[in-house]
Amino acid sequence: MKMNRLFILLFLFLPLFLTSQNDYQGAREKMLINDIKSRGVKDKLTLQAISTVPRHLFVPQELRSQAYRDGPLPIGYGQTISQPYIVAFMTEAIQPKPEFKVLEIGTGSGYQAAILGQIVDSVYTIEIIDELHQRSKKQLQDLAYHNVITKSADGYFGWEAKGPFDAIIVTAAAEFVPPPLIAQLKDGGRMIIPVGTPFSTQQLLLVTKSKGKTKTKNLMFVRFVPFTRTTD
């Protein structure tokens, strides 16, 4: 009798579950075409990663239905998961390759780290808010992103023991490019970082390093949450 009930429940709810999964896949494909490809993102590995990573699992449960809309969303603690297009743009801008070791500052939800984890060999990601670090670490583990290594710390100092890195992505707006991050970028490497005054528009800078010399180029104007510092 109990078994029968279980089967009935399963038959009732399985289609519902499967439909919702398909809905998300559909929403993801629409987002890819309308908000990302249409704005010029072409890199195959980046597009493939965006179409694979379940963004809805990186936003708070009550916002899942909005996970694939064309904008940032709150993730708690005054922080946000970036707009999908910005994630795609920044990923493409580092010209990611499968053999890359990448450093990310500002793990937040873990979504950008998962996108990178889908493409490159290893991702080291640092988050300053411990609760967000714990949450994203669990989510990344649950989704089996074993090549994404997380740490709770002030990302200003980078992760010297694991460097130098082929590329660095900073997802919080700094007032200047932290010198330790430049030091941990490989020769020939690319860093992408929003720089400017907190709570206003910032410039998304591409910092390249060649023969020990760094060059910066403004790619676009953006608005990110501030890069904060631990005060102890």
Token readout for 41 is 């993102």
- The answer to whether residue 82 forms part of the interface with ligand SAH (CB under 6 A) is yes
The residues, any chain, with a CB within 8 Å of residue 149's CB and separated by 6 or more, are: 122, 123, 124, 125, 162
- The answer to whether residue 155 forms part of the interface with ligand SAH (CB under 6 A) is yes
Cβ count near 4 (within 10 Å): 8
Candidates 4-12, 16-24, 32-40, 148-156 — which segment interacts with ligand SAH by CB under 6 A?
Answer: 148-156
- The answer to whether residue 96 forms part of the interface with ligand SAH (CB under 6 A) is no
Q: Provide φ and ψ at 2, rounded to 5°.
A: -60, -40
Q: Which amino acid is residue 3, in one-letter code? A: M
- The answer to whether residue 108 forms part of the interface with ligand SAH (CB under 6 A) is yes
Query: In a 3-state reduction of DSSP, which class is residue 90?
Result: helix
Give the Cα-Cα-Cα angle 228, 231, 232 (nearest 5 degrees): 145
- The answer to whether residue 191 forms part of the interface with ligand SAH (CB under 6 A) is no
Candidates 46-54, 151-159, 197-205, 213-221 — which segment interacts with ligand SAH by CB under 6 A?
Answer: 151-159
Binds ligand SAH by CB under 6 A, chosen from 94, 102, 128, 181: 128
**Among the listed residues 138, 202, 211, 126, the one whose alpha carbon sits nearest the alpha carbon of residue 169:** 126
Site for ligand SAH in 45-74 (CB under 6 A): none
Choose between 6 and 127: whose C-beta lies nearer to ligand SAH.
127
Q: How many residues bind ligand SAH (CB under 6 A)?
A: 24
Token readout for 67 is 């996970």
Binds ligand SAH by CB under 6 A, chosen from 46, 83, 91, 112: 112
- Tell me which residue has tokens 């920044």: 90
Choose between 132 and 140: whose C-beta lies nearer to ligand SAH.
132
- The answer to whether residue 150 forms part of the interface with ligand SAH (CB under 6 A) is no
* Secondary structure of 4-34 in HEC code, one letter for each residue: HHHHHHHHHHHHHHHHHHHHHHHHHHHHHHH
We find the least distance from the C-beta atom of residue 106 to ligand SAH, in angstroms, to be: 3
We find the least distance from the C-beta atom of residue 158 to ligand SAH, in angstroms, to be: 10
Binds ligand SAH by CB under 6 A, chosen from 106, 117, 163, 194: 106
- The answer to whether residue 225 forms part of the interface with ligand SAH (CB under 6 A) is yes
Q: CA 58, CA 49: separation in Å to the nearest integer?
A: 15
Active site residues: 82
Q: CA 143, CA 209: separation in Å to the nearest integer?
A: 34
Given the rule CB under 6 A, which residues bind ligand SAH? 79-82, 105-106, 108-109, 111-112, 126-129, 132, 154-156, 171-172, 225, 227-229
